[in-house]
Amino acid sequence: MKKQQQHGGAGGCPDTRPPAAAAAAAGGGPGPGGGWRRRRPLSLLPFLSLRDYGFCMAALLLFCLGSLFYQLNGGPPHFLLDLRHYLGNSTYLDDHGPPPQKVLPFPSQVVYNRVGKCGSRTVVLLLRILSEKHGFNLVTSDIHNKTRLTKNEQMELIKNISTAEQPYLFTRHVHFLNFSRFGGDQPVYINIIRDPVNRFLSNYFFRRFGDWRGEQNHMIRTPSMRQEERYLDINVCILENYPECSNPRLFYIIPYFCGQHPRCREPGEWALERAKLNVNENFLLVGILEELEDVLLLLERFLPHYFKDVLSIYKNPEHRKLGNLTVTVKKTVPSPEAIQILYQRMRYEYEFYYYVKEQFHLLKRKFGLKSHIRKPRPRPEFFIPSPLETEEPIDDEEEDDEKWLEDIYKSGGKEVLLSPFRTLGTDTASGA
């Protein structure tokens, strides 16, 4: 009896179910013919009835149709908007925060610490047109004749520049500023230089006689200049070692790249090497004024958000007319003896100039540009001159570029310049 109880059920356990349930589990059951009905196979959703299953499929179909309607019409169906309004006014921003900021061009911070008498007014005039055409922020300064700054002045200027709306291009006559030293993001620098003697001669006569506006302009620019100084012969100034024609006043280009350190204003190897280092590490491009069209072409390739179409604008006849107005008047050439003395006094300036020129030509070759310029004159052979006893330089008297440009804009030059370039921009857009 004990053995029958052990083997009476499945798996050795006694079957305690009633006979009807046991028969149903065995596959039988009462049916129409008097037997037991077979149970339906298990489905994916055994706990749903056919009515519930049909309701789910209808809801899924309705959702698919709504999604299709959303995509075909570019927006959500009205019933979804009504449902959203019924459920509440929460938005995507409430759940995910503000939308991502607009994508800025790279780089979005550019500084053009322009060197005086190196085509800066021509480039600034182009930048005025380009900023309106392309929509970048052209940041200028009301201070035009202070290139050397105290530590507090550096901090204040860097703060003002860094808080400008991006993308921006800041331009001013100022020696190189190290933004990272004061905790700011280091911008990309660009600049243009020219033959040092030519730059000096242009500045010498510009301070005395101005440019297209005639002698009345220079009277306003340098009112304190005595008549004997204004009409001082350039050869006398050089040969008799006047302060304006001697060091450290002639040591002019290198400090724009060396920086604000006091030693950057002392002619020597230290300032020269530091200027070269900054050119390599912080300047995207340092061009040569004698090859300005190639400079503009490279700027257009490197910084298209700022300089797109700059070469077309520069070659436009209307712009050429205004560009010719910046030419210095009454410029004369010193004697060969005076030129040789200038070479001697500007030896470091020329070492830097030829270094930048070689780097610029190397960059041109990388982009397949050929130099179409006259054969350059041979480099001067320097010898170390005797120390010159000269007084400390006064603050640089840079030209007021912004004031000059404002005069042009007020006189109607803005409309003359912009009208052909707006047409150019429309043609370009339509061609695209």
pLDDT score at 287: 98
Please name the amino acid found at residue 317.
Answer: P
**What's the rounded Cα separation, in Å, for the pair 17 and 109?**
86
In this prediction, residue 276 has a pLDDT band, given cuts at 50, 70 and 90, of very high
H-helix segments, 175-291: 196-209, 215-221, 227-230, 234-239, 255-258, 269-282
**What's the rounded Cα separation, in Å, for the pair 213 and 219?**
11
Nearest C-alpha neighbor of 256 from the set 111, 354, 109: 111
Nearest C-alpha neighbor of 146 from the set 349, 394, 406: 394
In this prediction, residue 66 has a pLDDT band, given cuts at 50, 70 and 90, of confident
SS3 state of residue 8: coil
Are residues 238 and 336 in contact, defined by beta-carbon separation less than 8 angstroms?
no
Please name the amino acid found at residue 355.
Answer: Y
Can 173 be counted among the known catalytic residues?
yes
**What's the rounded Cα separation, in Å, for the pair 161 and 183?**
13
Query: Which two tokens mark 74?
Result: 């570019």
How many residues in total does the chain contain? Answer: 432
Q: What is the pLDDT of residues 126-171, one digit of tens each?
A: 999 999 999 999 999 988 789 999 999 999 999 999 999 999 999 9
Mean pLDDT of 108-122: 95
SS3 state of residue 232: coil
260 pLDDT above the threshold of 60? yes
**What's the rounded Cα separation, in Å, for the pair 168 and 188?**
11
**Catalytic entry in 173, 175, 218, 319:** 173
Instruction: Supply the DSSP string of 377-406, one letter for each residue.
Output: PPPPPP--PPP---PPPPPP----HHHHHH
Buried b (16+ CB within 10 A) or exposed e, 351-383: bbbebbbebbbebbeeeebeeeeeeeeeeeeee
Buried b (16+ CB within 10 A) or exposed e, 297-326: bbbbebbebbbbbbbebbebeebeebbeeb
**What's the rounded Cα separation, in Å, for the pair 250 and 348?**
10
pLDDT score at 180: 94
70 pLDDT above the threshold of 50? yes
In this prediction, residue 416 has a pLDDT band, given cuts at 50, 70 and 90, of very low
373 pLDDT above the threshold of 60? no
SS3 state of residue 173: coil
Query: Which two tokens mark 52?
Result: 């519930």
